[in-house]
């Protein structure tokens, strides 16, 4: 499916929307951080699913291509993009000398209604998920930790899991891929 703007829906929803929101708020955040001397924090919710993406990571030339499309890989692509965005944003914020951090995280497998459109899977997850999936408050813990905890002050460009710094995939650490995604994202949010 495509978004209203004609972009693959998972990429648009999971990544491009938050990218655009961050861009729209960035100047206000920079001004606030400078005036208040309080560190700003940008937190991108990603997923361990970022490891399961297309072989090229981000399909820049095929973002809307139906041939070879996989909903699982498209999800992984969008979550890889969240991590790459935080890494590149962190680099740029440091370069600007502004006291704002940017990190990404995997909240964990959470018992939510994400499979609501797949009756069998939704029923299965709710039946046995209570035994091994995180509750919603447990799933929110890492997000809250990265956004608020004093121990994360000054930490930027990292990927967190279970309230600890974790190691993402090698693609998620690719500086050139992050820069390319940054430029590509601006072409999507500022079409000519």
For the chain, list the domains and their CATH numbers: 9-189 (3.40.50.720)
Q: What is the pLDDT of residues 83-132, one digit of tens each?
A: 999 999 999 999 999 999 999 999 977 666 665 666 666 666 666 666 67
Angle at 117 between CA 46 and CA 138, to 5 degrees: 40
Angle at 91 between CA 90 and CA 96, to 5 degrees: 95
pLDDT band at 4 (very low <50, low <70, confident <90, very high): very high
Pick from 36, 22, 39, 33: nearest CA to 149: 39
Q: What is the pLDDT of residue 157?
A: 98
What the block records as the tokens of 82 is 């969240």
Q: What is the pLDDT of residues 159-177, one digit of tens each?
A: 999 999 999 999 999 999 9
pLDDT band at 74 (very low <50, low <70, confident <90, very high): very high
The catalytic residue positions are: 69
The mean predicted confidence, pLDDT, of the chain is 92
Residue carrying the six token digits 């006291």: 99
Where are the strands (E) in the chain, listed by range?
A: 40-45, 100-106, 159-161, 164-166
Q: Report d(CA 147, CA 142) in Å as an integer.
A: 8
Q: What is the pLDDT of residue 191?
A: 74
Pick from 91, 77, 85, 96: nearest CA to 22: 85
Q: What is the pLDDT of residues 30-51, one digit of tens each?
A: 999 999 999 999 999 999 999 9
Q: What is the pLDDT of residue 71?
A: 92
Share of the chain above pLDDT 70, in %: 87
Share of the chain above pLDDT 90, in %: 80
Full-model pTM: 0.91
């Amino acid at each position: 499916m495509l978004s209203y703007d004609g972009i693959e829906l998972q990429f648009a929803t999971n990544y491009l929307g938050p990218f655009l929101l961050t861009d729209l708020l960035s100047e206000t955040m920079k001004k606030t951080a400078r005036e208040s001397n309080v560190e700003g924090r940008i937190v991108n919710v990603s997923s361990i699913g970022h490891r399961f993406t297309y072989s090229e990571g981000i399909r820049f030339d095929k973002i809307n291509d139906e041939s070879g499309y996989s909903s699982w890989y498209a999800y992984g692509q969008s979550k890889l993009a969240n991590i790459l965005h935080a890494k590149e944003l962190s680099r740029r914020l440091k370069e600007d000398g502004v006291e704002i951090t940017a990190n990404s995280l995997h909240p964990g497998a959470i018992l939510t209604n994400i499979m609501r459109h797949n009756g069998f899977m939704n029923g299965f997850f709710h039946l046995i998920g209570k035994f091994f999936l995180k509750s919603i408050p447990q799933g929110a813990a890492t997000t809250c930790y990265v956004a608020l905890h004093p121990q994360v002050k000054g930490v930027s460009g990292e990927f967190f899991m279970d309230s600890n710094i974790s190691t993402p995939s090698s693609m998620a650490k690719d500086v050139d891929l992050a820069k390319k995604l940054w430029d590509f994202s601006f072409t999507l949010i500022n079409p000519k």
